[in-house]
Homo-oligomer: A and B are copies of this chain.
Amino acid sequence: MPKGQPSVVPDDGLTTRQRRSLPLLAVHTGAGKGKSTAAFGLALRAWNQGWPIGVFQFVKSAKWRVGEERALRVLGATGEGGTVAWHKMGEGWSWVQRDIDSSEEAAREGWEQVKRDLAAETYRLYVLDEFTYPMHWGWVDTDEVVEVLRSRPGTQHVVITGRNAPEALVGAADLVTEMTKVKHPMDAGRKGQRGIEW
């Protein structure tokens, strides 16, 4: 998409340059495909800028995102762009040294680490993949997430993916895209395909 002119010039006392470096909170939601895929596409831009990238996968299967994970890990290791840290709930978070009893507990432990990293400004781009679900299910408090994100220091961009994004999160986000399914091969009885679905 071309970089357009903004439709409104805000009266916020900021210069265009300052506004350009505002931290962005993006949400990719809806029942269609491309929510996570677009988030990982964004990570390519962040990598190209040399930014440290932190991915937190709030899902349980280790098979999902294997392609994106390997590609981003290889990119991160080239030293030609940003670094990539990839954290998977499905394998137990690396910072948790004890057994985790439930997905609910695992989701909370993930969010606690995100909070620590935001406070420490560990990354410049955070991909919180499927993070809407722990909020939607009440495992993680949405108001707390919104508050922590609103007050995060520095210029840390955050992309949250998943269906059923809570209203308060949508309200706090700068950019919200809804991916709508118009047509899907599973409707015609086709199963997920290697290289396409994972």
Which residue from B21, B72, B182 sits with its C-beta under 8 Å from A170? B182
Contact A71 B67 (CB under 8 A): no
Residue of B nearest to A25 (CB): B185
How many chain-A residues does the 8 Å CB contact rule pick out? 82
CB distance from A63 to the nearest CB of B (A): 8
CB distance from A66 to the nearest CB of B (A): 7
Contact A24 B185 (CB under 8 A): yes
Contact A180 B178 (CB under 8 A): yes
In the bound complex, residues from chain B placing their C-beta under 8 Å from that of A12 are: 189
Contact B175 A177 (CB under 8 A): no
CB distance from A33 to the nearest CB of B (A): 5
Residue of B nearest to A45 (CB): B67
Contact A189 B6 (CB under 8 A): yes
Known interface pairs A67-B49, A74-B80, A178-B180; A197-B3 also in contact (CB < 8 Å): yes
A–B Cβ pairs within 8 angstroms, 10 of them? A1-B36, A24-B185, A26-B196, A34-B35, A37-B37, A37-B41, A41-B68, A45-B68, A45-B71, A48-B66
Which residues of A approach B to under 8 Å, CB–CB? 1-10, 12, 16, 19-22, 24, 26, 28-30, 32-42, 44-49, 51, 61, 64, 66-68, 70-72, 74-75, 78, 80-81, 124-125, 157, 170, 173-198
